[in-house]
Structure 1
Amino acid sequence: MGKKFIVKTQKGMESVAANYIREALSDAKVWASPLGYSGLVLVESGDETALERIEGIPEVERVIPVVAEVPAVLDEIVKTAELAAPMIGENETFAVKTTRRGKHDFSSIDVNRALGARIQELTKADVDLSWPDKVVQVEIIGDKAYISVVPGEEFRKFTPDKIDARELFRKLTVVQMPYWGDYKACRSFGEKIGRAAQAFEVKELIIAPKEKMDAFELAEFIKGVRIGQESRHQIQREAYPWKVDKVPVSVWDLHQVVRDKKRDKRLLIITDPKGPTLAEVKDRLARDMFYAKEIVVFIGSREGIPRGLFRFADYVVDLAPYMTFATEHGIPAALVSLWEVYEEYLRGREKGE
């Protein structure tokens, strides 16, 4: 009898992955979308290189070697602790994570609690739900439960060694010149800018015309900003484990923003091709951003920021020499660039450089 593997794919790619697995492993028994559950392929093979061969298929997202297959009954699942425990060292941490598909008289939390308690009893290892060394994965598909022991997730979104980019963006205000012209274009560009500002969770988005402009064109732009912000905020609410607030949005004359922020001694940064490159000023800029109470980044639209305001800026920075960014790319390009130099500075501080 061969080893079993649970293979995870993008939804809709199960059959494609299954066909490639059959080609790679001539002896394999392959079930795509078992019991109709998408994103899953069950594989059984006696080939010693099965794991490596399956991982070599681009359509495969994850391969989970099965340690035990038992009926989907809580007591039977808990008994698999005898097989899982030897794979977890006393000085390692672990967590039990269960994905349940189908109807059962127990919940995923019940499995996590009961199996976790038994494994801890056998190994004396500590439970770590955030950054475990080992994960006991329980995949329940209908009336069968498949138990695996895998290393802590290789590609984590949030890990202790990653610096939270929100540390910078929480004190960063974006001053965006509005797009003007055709109503549909105004709304379309507004949506993209609203989505970008919300994505970075900046302190504030200020829509700042440089002079008198058509009220209805501005209204369409602002409507677009609201639509873009709403759509991105909804995604954030569903995807993030923390509460995400909507970015405050206001309208202010561009020149008055400069006057007010300069008077309050905020750090003013203008992105413009006329300035020095980011590489030339990054060390000093990163240090000033670190100590600044608020960072104000000015981004143009169709036209750049008026040259007369350059005198009041602490930095005028060319993000990409000989290139001009499209209006909708201004916020992502500027903020990602600033984050990169800021993170480099923080890493240097940690090392005492």
Structure 2
Amino acid sequence: MKFLVKTQKGMESVAGNYIREALPNAEVWASPMGYSGLVIVETNDENAEEKILEIPEVERVIPVLVETNAELGEIVKAANEIASLISKDETFAVKTKRRGKHDFSSIDVNRVLGAKIKELTDADVNLSWPDKVVQVEIIGDRAFISVLPGEEYRKYTPDKFDARKLLSKVTLVQMPYWGDYKACRKFGEKIGRAAQAFEVKELIIAPKEKMDAYELMEFLRGIKTGQESRYQIQREAYPWKVEKVPVSVWDLYQVVRDKRRNKRLLIITDPKGPTLAEVKEKLARDMHYAKEVVIFIGSREGIPRGLFRFADYVIDLAPYMTFATEHGIPATLVSLWEVYEEFLRKSEEKAEAPS
């Protein structure tokens, strides 16, 4: 039996050594053809998979069903054997990871092999939540094909609520960091990266008074750099189209006037307010029905106390603790999302309960 073992890049040799200890009679090939993060194991041990999974450096173990030349025609020939493991009532998807140079793409493999399997089984294709995954791992001139159950650790599943439904109507009002130019830029990068990571509706940089133009310029440059770095990662990692979060500059007091006048939900985080647990039910309901949720976050100094009168909520996220400037956005949004998700689950359970 042959297994394709996946590890973190750089950990393949360590994992390979532990596999040799666990399976003394196995043939172990770390970094096949120079590709890191991979170990090929061939053994007759019936409990090999269990033993390999006991090694913490191992992330996945893929039993190889078919090994063939890395040629599109040869890969498609494996469809007969693959089809025997997929029933008509099941759904499937073909996923290909290709390493090396070939005269075909991963999408070509998915399309051609998928069509052949569908022809043989009459099973439906489901790219989001398949019952079976036909995994094609191409390493240089060899192709290793497996049939796996739907992924155990899925990022996106039907039982998870999509946080973007709340975050897409969140506007962050961030007071700028000021002082040393390098510090301004450094904090700007962290804030820009955080705002982009959560894919919020808008990021407003809002000074409360006149400030040094060059300090603000460095802060904004940092915002742009941090946002761009996160955006490029999102483009590669997400299956959906990602947009850059709009960034603008506006006087803090004018933001309050405008948003209050237009009846938006205004939230300020400050230790002077009640804890999140005290207001979470009403807060979650109000966030659900609000057209826009506007969250004010301080920097070095908190939000001016005079604005508390105009906020719908002043919340103490963590009593007796003060968040660092760069932690304001993630701490606030994660906390509010947890409250909102609890509200959604209770609403769902109430709707499903028999009357």
The CA deviation string for residues 91-140 of structure 1, in whole angstroms up to 9 with x for no partner, is: 11011222233344444333333332332233221111221110111222
- Corresponding residue for 1:23? 21
Distance 2:336 2:35 in 1: 43
- Corresponding residue for 1:205? 203
Match of 1:188 among 158, 165, 186: 186
- Corresponding residue for 1:337? 335
Unaligned runs of 5+ in 1: none
- Corresponding residue for 1:82? 80
Shift of 1:4: 0.4
- Corresponding residue for 2:110? 112
- Corresponding residue for 2:165? 167
Q: Does 1:128 align with 2:123?
A: no
**Over the residues paired in the alignment, what is the CA RMSD in angstroms?**
1.6
- Corresponding residue for 1:252? 250
* Structure-to-structure mapping, 1:282-301, within 5 angstroms: 282-301=280-299
Q: Does the residue aligned with 2:145 lie in a helix, a strand or coil?
A: strand
Q: Does 1:323 align with 2:321?
A: yes
Distance 1:251 1:96 in 2: 47
Q: 1:237 to 1:102 in 2, by over 3 A?
A: closer
- Corresponding residue for 1:264? 262
- Corresponding residue for 2:301? 303
Q: Does the residue aligned with 2:232 lie in a helix, a strand or coil?
A: helix
Match of 1:238 among 236, 239, 246: 236
- Corresponding residue for 1:158? 156
Distance 1:276 1:228 in 2: 33
Q: 1:114 to 1:260 in 2, by over 3 A?
A: closer
Which letter maps to 1:343? E
Q: 1:18 to 1:257 in 2, by over 3 A?
A: same
Shift of 1:38: 1.8
- Aligned positions, number: 351
Q: Does the residue aligned with 1:146 lie in a helix, a strand or coil?
A: strand
Q: Does the residue aligned with 2:84 lie in a helix, a strand or coil?
A: helix
Which letter maps to 1:282? K
- Corresponding residue for 1:67? 65
Which letter maps to 2:321? M
Q: Does the residue aligned with 1:100 lie in a helix, a strand or coil?
A: strand
Which letter maps to 2:261? R
The CA deviation string for residues 69-98 of structure 1, in whole angstroms up to 9 with x for no partner, is: 223343432232232222222211011222
Distance 1:114 1:153 in 2: 22
The CA deviation string for residues 265-285 of structure 1, in whole angstroms up to 9 with x for no partner, is: 111100001111101101100
Percent sequence identity over aligned pairs: 79
Which has the larger displacement, 269-278 or 114-123? 114-123
Q: Does the residue aligned with 1:20 lie in a helix, a strand or coil?
A: helix
Q: Does the residue aligned with 2:82 lie in a helix, a strand or coil?
A: helix
Q: 1:104 to 1:200 in 2, by over 3 A?
A: closer
Q: Post-superposition, which runs of at least 4 consecutive aligned residues in structure 1 deviate over 6 A?
A: none
Distance 1:99 1:226 in 2: 33
Q: 1:95 to 1:193 in 2, by over 3 A?
A: same
Which letter maps to 2:109? V
- Corresponding residue for 1:99? 97
Which has the larger displacement, 281-290 or 64-73? 64-73
Which has the larger displacement, 173-182 or 117-126? 117-126
Which letter maps to 2:99? R
Distance 1:50 1:152 in 2: 21
Shift of 1:328: 0.6
Q: Does the residue aligned with 2:257 lie in a helix, a strand or coil?
A: helix
Q: Does the residue aligned with 2:350 lie in a helix, a strand or coil?
A: coil
The CA deviation string for residues 218-245 of structure 1, in whole angstroms up to 9 with x for no partner, is: 2222222122122222222222232222
- Calculate the TM-score normalised by the size of structure 2: 0.94
